Chains A and B, each alone.
Chain A
Amino acid sequence: MRSPLTPEMATQEVQLNETLAHLKTESETLKTKLEEERAKLHDVELHQVAEKVEGLGQFVMKTRRTLKGHGNKVLCMDWCKDKRRIVSSSQEHAVTMPCTWVMACAYAPSGCAVACGGLDNKCSVYPLSLDKNENLAAKKKSVAMHTNYLSACSFTNSDMQILTSSGDGTCALWDVESGQLLQSFHGHAADVLCLDLAPSETGNTFVSGGCDKKANVWDMRSGQCIQSFETHESDINSVRYYPSGDAFASGSDDATCRLYDLRADREVAIYSKESIIFGVSSVDFSLSGRLLFGGYNDYTINVWDVLKGTRVSILFGHENRVSTLRVSPDGTAFCTGSWDHTLRIWA
C-alpha cells in the first residue's frame, strides 16, 4: 500500500504526467507527419514505371545438386567467396557445440573461417583447415554474447568484425580478435530475426528485420537507427539489400515479400498472391536485382520479377520447409536449405 502523497510529490506526479502526455502527443504528430511526407512523394507505383520494360520469358531452373549430409533440419547456409564452398548449419546433436540448434552461420570473406551460433546465445568463430585430423573445435573462439538466441551473423568487410542479431531484441558489432563489443543497436521491440549488410560501396549501414514487424536501417558507426519501415503484418524472417544498395527486400510470415526503397523512404512493391498463404523464410536477389527468390514454408521457391511485381516461376523439390536461400557470389546459381535435411543448388 502506497504511503500517502505529500503535496510536493503530488505536484511532481502531475507534472510528469503532463510531460508524458505532451510527449505522446508530439510522437503522434510526428508519426502523422512522417506518413504525410512519405505520401507526398508517392506519385507512382514501381510496376507502372516498369510497364514498358520487356517481360521475362519462361524460366527453366532445376535442382542441379542435392547435398545430403545433415542429420536434421538445415537452418542456415552461406557461400564462400570462392563460389565452390558452402557452410551450412542444422539442428544437430553435435559433439562440439554446446547446444543443438545452430541457427546462424556465415563464411569469413577470406574463406579461412566460419562463424556460427544459435541457442547458445553466442557467435563463435571456427578457423577452417583442409587437414581433416585437426581438431578445429578446440580452436573455436567465442566472439559475441547476447542474452538470448543468436538469429543471424555476418562478417563485415573483413575477417575482423562480426555483426550479430538476437532474440534479445538487439544487434551488435564485435571485434573478432578481442571479443569486444564495438557497437550495439537498440530499437526493435522484439526478437531480431535477420540482418544484411549494405553493399560496400554504399557505406556503413545494415538492415535488420524482427518479430515487431519492423525493418530498421542502421548506421554502423553511431549505432543510430536512420530509417524504419513497418508495413509487414507479421514477423520479418529475412532481409536482403538490392544490389545497388538503394533498396532492400524482406520476407515475412505474412506470406509476402516487399521491396523498400531507401531514397524514397517507403515500400515500393509487394510480391504476393492469394494462393500463397505460407510464410517466407528467406529472400535473395539475382545479380542484376531483376529477380527476387523467396523460400517458403510450403516447401516451394517463388521467383518474382522485381520490377513488374509478378511471379515468373515456382520451383518444387524440397520435401519440407525451405529455411534458407542464398544466391552464389557470381550469380550463376542459388542454394536452398530445408527442414528435409538437404541443401539444393538451383540453376
Chain B
Amino acid sequence: MSGSSNIVAMKKVVQQLRLEAGINRVKVSQAAADLQQFCLQHAQQDPLLTGMSSSNNPFRPQAVCSFL
C-alpha cells in the first residue's frame, strides 16, 4: 500500500530532524570570533591578500605555458 511507504519516508525525515535538532551549537559571537582569528593569524601567509612582488610570484613574470 502506498500509505506505508509514505510512512517509511516520513519516519526517515523525522529521524533526520531529531538528529539535526540535537547537535551541540556555539554562539555566533564565538564562531565569528574564531573565523576572524583564523583570518588574522594566517593573513601574512596569504599571497593573494598581501600581494606578492613580481620576483616571488611564479605567475607574474612572463613565462610560457604549454599544452601537455
Contact = CB atoms under 8 A, between A and B. Distances in A.
Interface of A: 12-13, 16-17, 19-20, 23-24, 26-27, 30-31, 33-34, 37-38, 41-46, 49-50, 53, 56, 59-61, 64-65, 67, 69, 83, 85, 130, 187, 224-228, 242-244, 246-247, 261, 263-266, 268, 286-291, 306-307, 327, 330-334, 345, 347
A44 B40 CA distance: 20
B20 to A, nearest CB: 6
Given A26-B14, A33-B21, A289 B7 contact: no
Contact of A345 (B18, B29, B59): B59
Given A49-B29, A261-B32, A289 B38 contact: yes
A77 B28 CA distance: 34
Given A23-B14, A227-B20, A41 B46 contact: no
A43 B28 contact: yes
Nearest to A25: B14
Interface in B49-67: 49, 51-52, 57-60, 65, 67
A145 B66 CA distance: 33
Contacts of B14: 23, 26-27, 30
B60 A46 contact: no
A225 B11 CA distance: 15
Contacts of B52: 332, 347
